Amino acid sequence: MPDASTLIAAASLICFDNDGTLFASHEVANPAIQRCFVSFCREHGLDLPPPTDEEICRLTGKPGPEFYYEVLPEPLQGESERFRELCLEEEVREVLARGRLFDGIEPMLVALRAAGRRVVLVTNAGERYLGAVHQRVGYHRLLDGVYHFGKDGHTTKGAMIRSAMRDHERRDAIMVGDRDSDLRGARDAGVPFLGCLYGYGTREELAGADLLVPHVAGMVRALGLLTA
């Protein structure tokens, strides 16, 4: 039986997380959320400092309903749906203005597809936010499919991975991501997991990964591409 690193390097279907794995969401989503947090709290009579980048990144990767609920202070959590709508408007503006992939990601995706491998997105992001990312970075040129929270009724990454495997008729799949939800999704779908330490998850959070990489160049090598 091949070891995990061999399976990862040879996988014909590669499922990537978005925020913190391919897309530098902290550069655009965080400022939008921080601005909305301050104004939303003031509207409700609370003068609170915005959540720090560290606090936001700690929650990044959770499905939207959970994320926006947990960002808010307890007295306002009942208003999380309205807060979410306000944040999404700002986030979409920021993404379309200056969102970017991490350095080295685009050429890696191009090289993987040129080698005949299928590349898909598996993310807890919602359709509206992801649509802005898709438009900004040109995912239509770089991916073979997108599986997001709520699409086809899927609410877990394990279900999204299995759907991608069926759609692309590939059994030798892997999941690549930076959070424990990515790891859990891989385990649920029965595929190897490649953890990215340059993202928003901690080493402890990703301790169960089959393989860990510290940067994009390391991921390129782990995926069996000759150049970093």
Quick check: 67 pLDDT over 50? Answer: yes
What domain range includes position 156?
Answer: 4-24+101-222
pLDDT per residue as tens digits for the range 177-197? 999 999 999 999 999 999 999
| pLDDT at 222 (0 to 100) | 97
Q: Within a 10 A sphere around the Cβ of 50, how many other Cβ atoms?
A: 18
> pTM of the entire structure?
0.94
Let me know if residue 227 belongs to a domain: no
- Asked if pLDDT for residue 224 goes beyond 90, the answer is yes
For residue 178, the domain's CATH number is 3.40.50.1000
Is the model's pLDDT at 47 over the cut of 70? yes
DSSP one-letter code for 149: T
Domain boundary among 72, 98, 124: 98
Pair (137, 210) in one structural domain: yes
Residues 14 and 116 in one domain: yes
The dihedral of CA 217, 21, 87, 89: what is its sign? positive
Same domain, 114 and 209: yes
Tokens matching residue 73: 């202070």
228 located within any domain: no
Look up residue 161 and give its two tokens: 């991975």
Q: Which residue has the tokens 């990601």?
A: 105
Q: Are residues 111 and 54 in the same domain?
A: no
Centroid of chain to Cα 192: 17
Q: How many structural domains are present in the chain?
A: 2
Question: Do residues 12 and 115 both lie within one domain?
Answer: yes
Mean pLDDT within 22-46: 98
What residues contact 42, with CB distance under 8 A and at least 6 apart?
A: none
pLDDT at 4 over 90: no
Reference 191, options 210, 169, 167; nearest CA is 210
The pLDDT-based confidence of 227 (bands split at 50, 70, 90) is low
Asked if pLDDT for residue 176 goes beyond 80, the answer is: yes
User: Smallest Cα–Cα separation from 91: which of 34, 145, 38, 170?
Assistant: 34
Last residue of a domain, one of 49, 67, 98: 98
Among 64, 98, 132, the domain-final residue is 98
